[in-house]
Structure 1
Amino acid sequence: MTRLLGRLGAWCARHGWIVLVSWVIAAATLMGSSLVFAAPTTSDASIPGTDAQRAHDLMKTGFGSGYATGGTVQLLLYSADGPLIEEKRKEAVEQSIDRLRDLPHVKDVDTPFRRGGISSNLQIGLITVRLEGNDPQKIGETTQTLSKAADPARAAGLEVVPADSSTPADKEIKTGPSEIIGVVCALLVLVFAFGTLVAAMIPIFVALVSVASGLGVIGLLGWVVDMPKQAGIMATMIGLGVGIDYALFLLSRHRRLLAGGVPVVESVRRTVASSGGAVVFAGGTVIIALSALMLAGFPLLATLGWVTGISVVAAVLTSVTLVPALLGLLGHRINALKVPLLRGAASGAHTPGGTGWAGLGSWVARRPWRVLLASTAVLGALAAPALALQLGALDEGYGSRGSEPRRAYELMATGFGPGANGPLIVVAELPAKVADAGDPIVDNLVREVKDVDGVAHVSEPKVNTSGRSVLLQAIPEYAPSDSRSAQVVRDVRDISVPGVQLHVGGKVAGLTDAGDRMAERTPLVIGVVVLLSALLLLLAFRAPIVAIKAAVMNLVSLGAAFGALAMVFSVGLGSRLVGMDPPVSSSYVQEVFFSVPIESYVPLMLFAVLFGLSMDYEVFLLTAVRQSYQRHGGNARAVAEGLGSTGRVITSAALIMVAVFVAFIAYPDAMVKTFGVGLAVAIAVDATIIRGFLVPATMVLLGRLNWWCPRWLDRILPNLSVEGHEEDDEPVVERREQPVTAGV
């Protein structure tokens, strides 16, 4: 593979303009096409085979789209100066209702002046609008149109706020300044790493082309597959990070070769043959980890996984083609526009034995046991808070203070109880046709639901036209984010009425089922990711112990990430710092320790992304150590030299990743904040404690066993080494130690 990549890199270097123009045209065409022919995104967070999905299907087929998600919009009314039933205010509300009934797709409008439609203090009311024939994907636009129709109520001094009846998948995450902030921070790191503006701009340019191409493909795929609204932001976040990092690794290697007097095209060939192979394998581990999410049994999560994988594929392709093309076009001008005071970095020279990282490697090699124990203790302390990780539903009570959804949530909770923000939709299949809701079997069902602990109110039942299904709403006593709401869902499902098949749907029920499905499938996904990633490393390095050790090290960095998530969100120590607003009525302690639940599917997605990204640094470090070991056979020396040759570039790459991920914490969406915190902490820990101390210490202790491979395994493994030994830019010297022979 290394020879093939080397030939590809050399060709791209010699035909730079062709490659550059081709990539720019492809990126512009794909991105432009996705904007002009914008595909619809989906808000479908269904999980096939779950009880909530069965309830949704029955509700839609038996009672019409007006009772399904996307078919109902609620408008909350608030009168600060007196009751809503005051004649002038009531007249304005009724005028608004008449205007709502005249709008397209409106099937029915429930007045707030009905039983259960107005709060006990008569100051908060609820208008429920049922739609028919509307586009569920445009529920946001429809809601704003309905809200505008209630202007007569606003003219009478009433506050009118549309309630958010969407699911977490409905949230459209729009791009903002975070991408720009991340790119600027990455550019600053690159300037310090390379010392020249020209070299610093190459990874940025390549990453932008990569992200544009990936987003273009993702946008067009929305016409043939259901595309979640989170797809673009996840692809951008990961695509920027890996795109810049992969280009950085290649560029660093090329500048060292140029500094050693290697001609430009030959330097590019060697660079792509060696570091390019590491990029391909590193990208492969990320893609494998993301693809394993298809085993989670959650379509939304599976789609997010392979969509994010598209951005990684684009990053790998641009790294092994566009980067060599730019290097060939620039030649020695890669070191142009040097930055004052950074002349050492600008030179591109590299002396492994004299760097601070090489010194650290030598220091670790002299005391491996102490370093191993100390780093393990630190990582254990960082991971310990993960035991307090709280998973649950993330409702609008955690939205930005002052936003429409947050205001609607607070009005609903104040007027009708916290559970009104997450009603349970109970759909029952009856054993025989009933005439109306007064049938004894329906009465029995309603009584059973009312008697469930935690149910505050049950609505009037509705029987469908066939008389074989009944629908009612059960309002829990608890907010959707309260873990007790999930228990209410389970208790309602446990109701036994002879002949009745009962199903519970709605937002809380759906998230409860999602959590149960995630808990059931998590061991399978983790096992597949770890196994396939270790297998890929085995193919790359032909060293089973190294492959197993790398997988374990990546799991360690995940522990630190989940520990940070628990401290920030579950314990609440930093939730205010990342922009989460506590409830208005919070005490001082609640203001400081504001606990925020983490969606049940987030840890699994975070695991897949982090495992893949962590393997990137492992591949680059192991490649350098293996190359050094192949030259002289000294294990401790190879570890020190490998750390010395990669320490600076891995640190720079990690700083870029951290900068990009931290920038995304500024997004108002809580899910993006969660990923930003988890990814930033994990990458920082991985590139410092794990790659700087733990990995070198274990490799020194293992000695020659690092590269041991049984004869039978060596015979059956294909030759896919990423190192490209013929590309080494240092002379081969006599080995100090005998290499490990097969069968040891």
Structure 2
Amino acid sequence: MSTIESGVMHRVMTRCGRFTTRHPYPVIVVWLLLTVTIAALVVAFGRPIDEDATLPGSAGQHGREVLEAHLGGAADANGQVILRSSGARLDEPATAAAIAETAARIDAVEHVSAVARPVLSADGLTGYLDVSLDVGPQELTRATTVEIMDAAGTPGLETLPGGALTRAQGGTGHSEAFGVVVALAVLVVAFGGLVAAALPLLTAALVLIIGVGAIGLAGHLTGIPSVATTLGTMIGLGVGIDYALFLITRYRALLDRGRPVRDAIVGTVASSGSAVVFAGGTVVVALCGLGVAGVPILATLGWTAGLVVLVAVAAATTLLPAMLTLLGPRIDALPVRRRSRAGRASAWGRLADRVIRRPWRYALASTLLLLVLAAPLTAMTLGQTDAGDKAAGSAERAGYEAMAAAFGPGINGPITVVAELSPAATGRDDPRLTALTGAAAAVPGVTQANPARLAEDGLVASVRVIPGTAPGDPATLDTIDRLAALDVDGAAISVTGQTAIRGELAERVGDRMPLVIVLVVLLSGLLVLIAFRAPVVAAKAAVMNLLSVAAAYGALTAVFQWGWGAELIGLDGPVPIEAYVPMMLFALLFGLSMDYEVFLLTAVRESWERTGDNRRAVRDGLSDTGVVITSAALIMVCVFASFVLSDEPVIKMMGLGLAVAIAVDATVIRGLLVPATMTLLGDANWWTPRTTRRAPESPDQARWAVPSESDGAEPARSGGSPA
């Protein structure tokens, strides 16, 4: 038997189910106290974010650290207030006086350490004020940026944020609300009642408050980018609802069999709870594989998303059973439609019959379809987005475009050339400073090189360079490479800045991607092997998941890189695929796809253990789980797809990639390819080096598969309630 049906996990989850049914009130109180505590801490201390890219071991990171140590150039956050006139030049006396008053007001705002003199464009109609802050990116709050922009209001001039002042700290409430509404509709249709439909949403709400709140609080201890909380929200909604859906479905099925309430809950936690633990474990294990990439943002996104999944698993296996204990048979209260009892004569049963009769046809057709969907990934290239890729009309994009139009596209992505100098007695008259500035200015692709700054100790100099191309333009990376190759006597050159570091990040991700793929596949496959003790099933599951990930990559390439349908998701056209997105999606998708694989295979395995007939087992497994897996997948697809409404291109990429992969996984792969290949493999599916096939140990041995309600009488059961 599989580990889910017996063994240590089954025994542990049985004890967990017994505990929650015996002590439902303490369990619920603990969860509520934890929720209130974390919510209060978030309200009191906030959720700081840090969008700063770091890449240990890279040349760009080395240059940044040298600047911090000798010049302090990277220690403070810096932003710009952009001023734009539609008529009078900004250097006219009246306008200049108004700008001076504006600078004084900005300088009086808390955390503003200095406001530089305005820099004007050639036509005098656009300018900007450099605003230096005494807090780093992690401590820069939305309240501070709003206060600065309020103080920047100047009669007759348009003011826009730039640099650090554009860091978005708002939420994605519209996306979350849309996902919840769709999820509720699907749950009502699936369960036929409002009480049963509300429980998964309630569980998911607590998961979000605890999990995403904890991620936000972690921002006080380490750098947490805004995408981490958004991704945590996406994952928390998806798995929080899905895991509860699986358990409630099993619980209602056991009640229909005539099992007492507490007996049904214990059986549900022991069987479905074990499957949820293994499914959640595959997601966490896959995310752990990101740690070998050597990219801090990936490691951060991995552990934050994994934290939310762990909270979802804990809530599904403790909080939900406690609530079910209090509700009892009232789980079916407030019905809105009559529950269907189609059973094995359902559409999924008929589909299973067709696939089993012609497995070769369905295997080849579905494989061909997946390869067509995945084909665009062969042209995928990694890059970096910039503010010019944001939604049209956003303040961040408006500021970016105003600066680019007035000062050239490179103004939005300045580069810093750092020179570590050998000791010399010439100080600020060191001829190497002039040589460094001249060499940087002469590099093709550079439009401006400011005079070199020299550290007090005379050991480090820096030159701020403005390239002629935008931060996200691949040509900018070529300029960075040429700057890094500068040869100045007595100086060791490195190039830093967000654009330089993110360029190196893309290169490292490309180099480490094969290692991460191999590691995630092996770890996830090993977990499935432990769960089912069947090497063939584990290997097949890994291959199937690779196909769903490939389809998601194909969609990313077609929509974002090629621009197919980009306007439909709020983009003006093609945008670069952010370097870390494919690797993050791989780990997430591989783990989430394994969720449905675990649930389907558990149902197939249970039937095979009972009947010894592989074809019937495949048919029973698909028929019994088709509705619940489809409902779960539909919820997750809608939740993920709702985040395409976000203004952030990276969030759009995450949402679209996850939605496409889950949709393909739950239909083409789980509905066609998996049953077709399992039919073709026959009993080889369950081969093990030590074949020890045996019948279930007792009639009360819990199984995940949702029993068909048209099967007639339940086989006779003996023994008392496990509760």
| 2:656 counterpart of 1:677 | yes
- Which residue pairs with 1:528 in the alignment? 519
Task: Tell me the number of residue pairs that the alignment of Structure 1 and Structure 2 aligns.
Answer: 699
What is the alpha-carbon distance in structure 1 between the residues aligned to residue 40 and residue 489 of structure 2?
Answer: 59
Q: Report 1:444-459 matches (<5 A).
A: 444-459=435-450
Check whether the contact 2:49–2:138 (CA below 8 A) recurs between aligned residues: no
Quote the offset at 1:106 in angstroms. Answer: 5.3
Quote the offset at 1:118 in angstroms. Answer: 2.4
Quote the offset at 1:221 in angstroms. Answer: 3.6
What is the alpha-carbon distance in structure 1 between the residues aligned to residue 56 and residue 316 of structure 2?
Answer: 39
| 2:686 counterpart of 1:694 | no
Q: Report 1:201-350 matches (<5 A).
A: 201-340=198-337, 343-345=338-340, 349=341
Of residues 401, 404, 411, the one that matches 1:420 is 411
5+ long unaligned stretches in structure 1: 583-593, 734-744
Check whether the contact 2:48–2:140 (CA below 8 A) recurs between aligned residues: no
Check whether the contact 1:362–1:636 (CA below 8 A) recurs between aligned residues: no
What is the alpha-carbon distance in structure 2 between the residues aligned to residue 724 and residue 318 of structure 1?
Answer: 28
Residue deviations 1:293-314 (CA, integer Å, cap 9, x gap): 2222122221221111111111
Of residues 343, 346, 351, the one that matches 1:351 is 343
Question: For structure 1, which segment, 380-389 or 124-133, has the greater mean C-alpha deviation from structure 2 after superposition?
Answer: 124-133
Q: Report 1:444-483 matches (<5 A).
A: 444-483=435-474
SS of the equivalent of 1:425 reads strand
| 2:99 counterpart of 1:93 | yes
User: Cα gap change, 1:356/1:136 in structure 2, threshold over 3 Å: closer, same or farther?
Assistant: closer
Quote the offset at 1:515 in angstroms. Answer: 0.8
- Which residue pairs with 1:79 in the alignment? 85
User: Cα gap change, 1:106/1:723 in structure 2, threshold over 3 Å: closer, same or farther?
Assistant: farther
Check whether the contact 2:509–2:579 (CA below 8 A) recurs between aligned residues: yes
SS of the equivalent of 1:478 reads coil
- Which residue pairs with 2:702 in the alignment? 727
Quote the offset at 1:709 in angstroms. Answer: 0.6
- Which residue pairs with 1:544 in the alignment? 535
SS of the equivalent of 1:498 reads coil
**How high is the TM-score relative to the length of structure 2?**
0.91
Residue deviations 1:8-60 (CA, integer Å, cap 9, x gap): 22332343333333322322223223322435433442111111112222222
SS of the equivalent of 2:80 reads strand
- Which residue pairs with 2:4 in the alignment? none
Quote the offset at 1:363 in angstroms. Answer: 0.9
Quote the offset at 1:631 in angstroms. Answer: 0.7
User: Cα gap change, 1:100/1:464 in structure 2, threshold over 3 Å: closer, same or farther?
Assistant: farther
- Which residue pairs with 2:38 in the alignment? 30
| 2:500 counterpart of 1:509 | yes
- Which residue pairs with 2:163 in the alignment? 164
AA partner of residue 298 (structure 1): V
Quote the offset at 1:641 in angstroms. Answer: 0.6
Question: For structure 1, which segment, 429-438 or 252-261, has the greater mean C-alpha deviation from structure 2 after superposition?
Answer: 429-438
What is the alpha-carbon distance in structure 2 between the residues aligned to residue 561 and residue 470 of structure 1?
Answer: 46
Question: For structure 1, which segment, 140-149 or 383-392, has the greater mean C-alpha deviation from structure 2 after superposition?
Answer: 140-149
Quote the offset at 1:140 in angstroms. Answer: 5.0
What is the alpha-carbon distance in structure 2 between the residues aligned to residue 482 and residue 72 of structure 1?
Answer: 23
What is the alpha-carbon distance in structure 2 between the residues aligned to residue 723 and residue 191 of structure 1?
Answer: 35
Of residues 609, 620, 634, the one that matches 1:630 is 609
Quote the offset at 1:446 in angstroms. Answer: 2.2
AA partner of residue 38 (structure 1): G
Question: For structure 1, which segment, 288-297 or 539-548, has the greater mean C-alpha deviation from structure 2 after superposition?
Answer: 288-297
Of residues 574, 577, 586, the one that matches 1:598 is 577
Quote the offset at 1:146 in angstroms. Answer: 4.3
Residue deviations 1:433-472 (CA, integer Å, cap 9, x gap): 3646553322222232223221122112212222221111
Of residues 118, 121, 135, the one that matches 2:123 is 121
Residue deviations 1:181-232 (CA, integer Å, cap 9, x gap): 2111111101111111121112111222222222343344444444333332
SS of the equivalent of 1:163 reads strand
What is the alpha-carbon distance in structure 1 between the residues aligned to residue 578 and residue 165 of structure 2?
Answer: 15
SS of the equivalent of 1:676 reads helix
SS of the equivalent of 1:504 reads strand
What is the alpha-carbon distance in structure 1 between the residues aligned to residue 84 and residue 114 of structure 2?
Answer: 22
Of residues 130, 136, 139, the one that matches 1:137 is 139
AA partner of residue 263 (structure 1): P
- Which residue pairs with 2:600 in the alignment? 621
Check whether the contact 1:44–1:300 (CA below 8 A) recurs between aligned residues: no
The alignment's C-alpha RMSD in Å is 2.6
Question: For structure 1, which segment, 118-127 or 568-577, has the greater mean C-alpha deviation from structure 2 after superposition?
Answer: 118-127
User: Cα gap change, 1:193/1:144 in structure 2, threshold over 3 Å: closer, same or farther?
Assistant: closer
Quote the offset at 1:536 in angstroms. Answer: 0.5
What is the alpha-carbon distance in structure 1 between the residues aligned to residue 698 and residue 147 of structure 2?
Answer: 61
SS of the equivalent of 1:344 reads coil
SS of the equivalent of 1:77 reads strand
User: Cα gap change, 1:596/1:732 in structure 2, threshold over 3 Å: closer, same or farther?
Assistant: farther
AA partner of residue 455 (structure 1): V
- Which residue pairs with 2:720 in the alignment? none
AA partner of residue 274 (structure 1): S
Of residues 32, 35, 50, the one that matches 1:42 is 50
Of residues 16, 26, 32, the one that matches 1:18 is 26
SS of the equivalent of 1:85 reads coil
Quote the offset at 1:262 in angstroms. Answer: 2.2
| 2:8 counterpart of 1:6 | no
What is the alpha-carbon distance in structure 2 between the residues aligned to residue 220 and residue 140 of structure 1?
Answer: 16
Residue deviations 1:637-656 (CA, integer Å, cap 9, x gap): 11011000001100000011
Question: For structure 1, which segment, 646-655 or 445-454, has the greater mean C-alpha deviation from structure 2 after superposition?
Answer: 445-454
Check whether the contact 2:76–2:132 (CA below 8 A) recurs between aligned residues: no
SS of the equivalent of 2:382 reads coil
Check whether the contact 2:48–2:138 (CA below 8 A) recurs between aligned residues: no
Check whether the contact 2:48–2:141 (CA below 8 A) recurs between aligned residues: no
| 2:648 counterpart of 1:657 | no
| 2:155 counterpart of 1:183 | no
AA partner of residue 701 (structure 2): E
Question: For structure 1, which segment, 414-423 or 229-238, has the greater mean C-alpha deviation from structure 2 after superposition?
Answer: 229-238
Quote the offset at 1:659 in angstroms. Answer: 1.3
Residue deviations 1:69-103 (CA, integer Å, cap 9, x gap): 64322222222213223232233334434555566
Quote the offset at 1:732 in angstroms. Answer: 9.8
SS of the equivalent of 2:447 reads strand
What is the alpha-carbon distance in structure 1 between the residues aligned to residue 168 and residue 152 of structure 2?
Answer: 24
User: Cα gap change, 1:329/1:72 in structure 2, threshold over 3 Å: closer, same or farther?
Assistant: closer
Residue deviations 1:361-417 (CA, integer Å, cap 9, x gap): 121111111111100111111111223334222111122222222121111111111
AA partner of residue 229 (structure 1): S
Quote the offset at 1:129 in angstroms. Answer: 3.2
SS of the equivalent of 2:525 reads helix
Question: For structure 1, which segment, 614-623 or 631-640, has the greater mean C-alpha deviation from structure 2 after superposition?
Answer: 631-640
